[in-house]
Structure 1
Amino acid sequence: MKGQRLSTNDIVTMKRRGERIAMLTAYDYTSAQMVDAAGVHMILVGDTVGMVVQGQDTTLPVTLDQIVYHSQMVARGAQRALLVGDMPFMTYQVNVEDALRNSARLMTEGKVGAVKIEGGVAIAPTIERLVNVGIPVCGHLGFTPQSTHAMGGPRIQGKEPSAAASLVADAKALEAAGAFAIVLELVPASVAQEISQRVSIPTIGIGAGPHCDGEVQVFHDLFGLYTDFKPRHTRRYLNVAQDVVTAARQFVRDVSEGTFPGAEQTSDIGPEAKERFRALLTA
């Protein structure tokens, strides 16, 4: 499928074939190019941009304008992966009309192929309405970052049997509403496994164990760019922040010592032109 962007149908088909789904966040042209070249199946333009790019404490301050802006950059950089745009806090919860208008804007201006919405049974009617007008929706259950204050911060959800059963019911409701996939965040592995087996659409885990149909991680966590903290559920494949600091220190030394820029980084006019130039200055 080289040269052709993956669709939501392709992602659903991957589950049917037993193929696992790799998903990463990206927030700009360059990072999108890199993860797309690596072969990820889905790229999430997440509201995590508020934390790992903007330095916010939560995702709540992120606006629709900002997600549209970052989605445009990602769409220019990625050629193959399915692009999913996060719907920010309160862009879809007030009423269905808001959800329709804002989702449509993210797709038409942001060039994403689907939107992601947090919530379970209560949000299912909104998802159904979006799907019915042709807007693909990825659900999000478990720890939902836009409800971080109500949940008391990033905590495992579904540890109690009744709460676990509610998550299963939420997942079934999202499937019935027409969602093509569901992100499961900070969910016990056995609960995530049960959900994955009970729905026909892919589950994409993050801190939900190995039994989901795929995995999503934050670009800055995976490659060591975000140093404020390291989530337990991530694996550092690189430590870019440390390498950048080391390289930047060398740059500072080179500039301070006058060894950069050098001859290789310098261009100049020829001797004859230089002589005429100096003559003009003294004329």
Structure 2
Amino acid sequence: MSHTAHIPSHRKPRRSATKVALRAGVAGGVLSTLAVAAAAGTANAAEPVSETIEMPTLTTDLSAQIAQSADATQQAADTYESRAERDAAASKAAKQAKEDLAKAEKKAEAERKAAAAAKKKAEQERASRSTERTTLSTQSAPGSGSSTASDSVAPASGSVGAVIGFLKAQLGDAYVMGASGPNAWDCSSLVQAAFKQAGVDLPRVSQDQSTMGTEVGTSNLQVGDILYWGGKGSAYHVGVYIGNGQYLDAANPSKGVVIQDLSGYPASGAVRVL
């Protein structure tokens, strides 16, 4: 044994041939890769670069979402259009309602004025009729026929006067059942024709004439009241009160149109139409 065998050597251990060969191979591979990359880089630098972008494929779910979005957009547009139409209709209806209200108010005002004028006219006519009746009741002339009382003289004008004047003009005419003038009458046709002179349209028959106007008592008669004999609504004869307890009527075939005294043939009732 050498006398230096126990002293550690300071020399680096030798690398094995296998490790050296492996490292050489790795280094060579790296250098080769770098060379290839450099060559590729040079080639790429010489040619333009083009990039292809792949568009996504429309799947069933995506198509459904697009359709739903389109439907929602259409519904929103329809909603806005419908709302605009409703607003326009509401505005038009409000304008029309305002116009109708103005027309109704104008019509109501006209009707109120017409009613007031009619009321005033009616009051004036009632006052005139009252004056006429007073005049007729206080004026008298000699009677004729079977009458035992004096006859009232009718004034030249006025509604009641027109009725009485017409009746007196028919004195002496014949009585014929169903006749309506000008020279022959029955009781109801004479009364109907007389009141037509005052603008009053009466029914043709005595039964209906007894239901017209206002019922008055026979103790409170005024000139121009219609007298009836029999029940109200079933009267069989009519005449007209002319004042002083007398009435004028188309009595019967034997008398014709005459003036008679109520005391000899009291009426069942009376109605007032003037």
TM-score category (smaller protein) = under 0.3
TM-score, with structure 2 as normaliser: 0.25
Q: Between Structure 1 and Structure 2, whose CA radius of gyration is higher? A: 2
